[in-house]
Structure 1
Amino acid sequence: MQNLNRVVKDDLFTGVQRIAVFRALQLGDMLCVVPALRALRAAAPQAHITLIGLSWASSFVRRYHRYLDELLVFPGCPGFPEQPARLHEMPGFLAEAQGRRFDLAVQLHGSGAVSNPLTVLLGAKRNAGFHAPGQYCPEPAAFIHWDEREHEVLRYLRLMDHLGAPAQGEHLEFPLTDDDHASLRRSHADLPAPGSYVCIHPGARMLTRRWLPQRFAEVADRLAASGMKIVLTGSPDEAEVVQAVHGAMRMPALNLCGRTDLGGLAALLAQARLVVSNDTGISHVAAAVATPSVIVSCGSDPGRWAPLDSARHRVIHADVACRPCMHQVCPIGHLCAYEVGADAVAELAVHLLDGEGGTQTINVTTEMHP
């Protein structure tokens, strides 16, 4: 095995002209592999790199054009819950992928239990990625074991290092353009000055990832009372929860929910003094633009998803036995949200605003009730 691994490290990228990267996931998941893409591009600077991803990721490829050259849209198939499976499109998708004659296909889509067989169907000369114990491993020298507890950023850097693509830094990034800043300016005629406001983002795609609107409102009121302006953010689909926070507040706030595209929202976060959010894609955007944040982790695994920069970000979560959770609606009372109090979150936020240190992840001890 050692000899095989040495061959991988020495020869995997030699002569490689066409690389496929399979990761058909949403924004936060995609941001977490940017460091791995950065390492891959450094190891294969002349290669044409194709992302096999969801249709929304056309904008991701444009933003990260230094690392990715194009998107091939994955139509979905059984076992991939991110979108409905369009099985009638699979033959055409596979024919197009195989017609690209990829030299290498890299599976960055989970443990490989369902993604490895599909990656092999892309028809690349070689395959690399992760595999779980006892599961299908297409090429032992180029696949490494999946560790469910590993941090999402570090796991993909570990794979890149194994393949001979050393890390080019662990940091996230979100390149901002003139269009992003123009989009932000169009969102409201009287935006607060940079550094004078806190962004409160109470939404999340999964309902079980959302902390309580009333408690977001309490935190926002306390920060407003300390002199900060409050800006509420969210996608159009999150308008209801953002309005619930706005309606529960006693202090004034600017509601920009649904009024910015992703680039404009990132520009807004980049100029904020602080972001308070759930553990969702926006928390990774805040990390990528280096804005301090307080993240309430409901349902997810903070050890896997917390920002690596412990000087700038704080994560708070209740230590319940049922996390990580993949329920859309909690069947047992949403303890992971109710056990995190507004005072604790507000105190973390105030400490960050004051420039005080502290531990990165705060556990709220609770009991798991039947």
Structure 2
Amino acid sequence: MTPQPKLMQYQDMDCFSATLDHAIISDLPRNPAIKRILIIKWGGMGDIVISTAIMEDISLAFPHAELHLNTMPAWQSLFDHDPRFSRVWCVNLQQRPGRWRAYRQWLAEVAAMQYDLVIDLQTNDKSRSLLAMLRLIGQAAPLLLGNHPCFPYTIRQRQELPQAHSFQIMQQTLLSAGIPLRTRSPKLNIAPVTVAAAAALLAQHGLATGSFAVFLCGSHAGGLTKRWGAAHYATLVEHCARQGERVVLLGGRDEAEECLAIASQYPRCVVNLCGQTSLLEVPVICSHAKYIVANDTGTAHLAAATSTAMTVICGPTNPLRVKPPGAHVLALQLDIPCKNCYAKQCSHHSCMGQLLPSQLLPYLPVSRAQNA
């Protein structure tokens, strides 16, 4: 009989800064010439949410500076009511056709605003190339800070962390510029109208605080191998029903079919809210939940912005790089040879399929609390 693979646990990753090189290359917060700052962050939703902790530290370090944020159109609603930014602007750099027109628009926008400091939290080939163009034509900000020690940045770390968590990489970026690390988890600013809308949705379904679990059982369409599977989640729903708990399913358009497959089996105890919430209603709903179970998905990072205990199931992605920050988040992964493959397709899906619901039950947040 083949032995069951060991189940690995990854929990408190808040202390990233303890492993970083604390040498300050430039003490930017003491520079009185910095009056207008641009933060660049495009990324996926999970990475955007993580970066809000970094944005908070930048805001605290420059209390008198004017902060602008450049992000992608899909994420602008996350910052609609964010008092940290005097301006949030977007240019769709992924559009086809018209990409070169968008690039020119972006370059003109940055040049016209005459920023004193640009902090590039994206730091990919595209952002580096655009900033390099500005620098080569003499239109760049005098201070350029990015996540990697390379051109065109004028402030460069002494080391690179290519295999680290994105939170750790961005933390090192701040440290190199003398910006203190004070924020350990995402910092979202949610408007009262959004809080009220989420509360009304919970009341509509008779969901009292602490009476339900939240399952984030899907993933975006390009990450199907990150899904634990509707059948496994349905088994967890059955467990919740025996405990007298209801289950709320949350997600977006790509996850609708997965949620429907689960909800149709247990219509009495499952409330399927997939596709019925705005982005910022997700953390509000999760803040009222008893606990959360999630795949490695962007929605999990939104949920982790609350203090609600969460278990995240990983397989093809490395928990050391993708786990939402916070001691309240536990990541689980089977210790098998092909883990962390990051494959988009897989013929056997062993990393997820072999993790049985019975193995997960002792690691649910409610079980951890009872055994504490």
How far does residue 194 in structure 1 lie from its aligned partner after superposition?
Answer: 0.5
Change (3 A) 1:340 1:262: same
Matched residue type, 1:150: A
SS at 1:131 equivalent: coil
Change (3 A) 1:165 1:229: same
Q: Which residue does 1:97 correspond to in 2?
A: 110
Given that 2:316 and 2:342 are in contact with CA atoms closer than 8 Å, whether structure 1 keeps it comes out as yes
How far does residue 153 in structure 1 lie from its aligned partner after superposition?
Answer: 2.0
**Separation in 2 of the partners of 1:84 and 1:143?**
35
Matched, 1:292 2:309: yes
The 5-angstrom pairing of residues 1-370 of structure 1 reads 8-9=26-27, 13-66=31-84, 68-76=85-93, 86-110=99-123, 112-122=124-134, 123-131=140-148, 136-139=150-153, 141-187=155-201, 189-205=204-220, 206-249=223-266, 252-310=269-327, 312-328=328-344, 330-349=345-364, 351-352=366-367, 354-357=369-372
Q: Which residue does 2:5 correspond to in 1?
A: none
Please give the per-residue CA displacement for 1:26-49, whole angstroms capped at 9, x wherever unaligned.
321111112211111122112222
SS at 2:147 equivalent: strand
SS at 1:307 equivalent: coil
**Separation in 2 of the partners of 1:11 and 1:45?**
9
Given that 1:31 and 1:172 are in contact with CA atoms closer than 8 Å, whether structure 2 keeps it comes out as yes
User: Unaligned 5+ residue runs, structure 2?
Assistant: 1-22, 135-139
Q: Which has the higher contact order (CA 8 A, sep 6+)?
A: 2
How far does residue 144 in structure 1 lie from its aligned partner after superposition?
Answer: 4.9
**Is 293-302 or 136-145 further displaced after alignment?**
136-145
SS at 1:24 equivalent: coil
Change (3 A) 1:69 1:297: farther
Given that 1:128 and 1:139 are in contact with CA atoms closer than 8 Å, whether structure 2 keeps it comes out as yes
**Separation in 1 of the partners of 2:129 and 2:230?**
42
TM-score (norm 2): 0.83
How far does residue 76 in structure 1 lie from its aligned partner after superposition?
Answer: 1.9
Please give the per-residue CA displacement for 1:77-101, whole angstroms capped at 9, x wherever unaligned.
5xxxxx7673332112211211111
SS at 2:93 equivalent: coil
Q: Sequence identity of aligned pairs in percent? A: 21
SS at 2:174 equivalent: helix
Given that 2:205 and 2:271 are in contact with CA atoms closer than 8 Å, whether structure 1 keeps it comes out as no
Matched residue type, 1:117: S
How many pairs does the alignment contain? 341
How far does residue 249 in structure 1 lie from its aligned partner after superposition?
Answer: 4.2
TM-score (norm 1): 0.83
How far does residue 352 in structure 1 lie from its aligned partner after superposition?
Answer: 3.9
User: Unaligned 5+ residue runs, structure 1?
Assistant: 78-82, 358-370
Q: Which residue does 2:13 correspond to in 1?
A: none
